[in-house]
Amino acid sequence: MSGATPGTATREAARPDGTLHAGLLGHSAEGAALCFRAFCQEGFAELGEHDHPDVTLDLIPLSRSMPAWDAGDHAAVRAALAASAARLARAGADFFVCPDNTAHLALGLPGPALALPGLHLPDLVAERAAAGGRRRIGVLGTRFTMDGPLYREAFARRGMAAERPEPRDRETVHRIIFEELLNGRFTGEARRAFAEVIDRLAGRGCDAVALVCTEIPLLVGQEESSLPLLDSTRIAARAAFEVAVGRRPLPRWRGGPPQQAG
pLDDT above 70 coverage of the chain, percent: 92
Q: What is the pLDDT of residues 159-178, one digit of tens each?
A: 999 999 999 999 999 999 99
Is the pLDDT at 6 greater than 60? The verdict is no
Question: pLDDT confidence of 101, banded at 50, 70, 90?
Answer: very high
Q: What is the pLDDT of residues 234-247, one digit of tens each?
A: 999 999 999 999 99
Q: Provide the pairing of β-strand 95-97 with 161-163.
A: unpaired
Is the pLDDT at 13 greater than 90? The verdict is no
Average pLDDT over residues 35-40: 95
Question: pLDDT confidence of 5, banded at 50, 70, 90?
Answer: very low
Q: What burial class does residue 76 get, using C-beta atoms within 10 Å of its C-beta: 0-12 exposed, 13-18 middle, 19+ buried?
A: middle
Question: pLDDT confidence of 66, banded at 50, 70, 90?
Answer: confident
Whole-model pTM: value is 0.88
Question: pLDDT confidence of 69, banded at 50, 70, 90?
Answer: confident
CB atoms within 10 A of CB 239: 25
Q: What is the pLDDT of residue 28?
A: 85
Query: What are the phi and psi torsion angles at 53 (to 5°)?
Result: -65, 155
Average pLDDT over residues 14-31: 85
Mean pLDDT score across all residues of the chain = 90
- Contact in structure between 251 and 118 (CB atoms under 8 Å): yes
Query: What are the phi and psi torsion angles at 213 (to 5°)?
Result: -125, 135
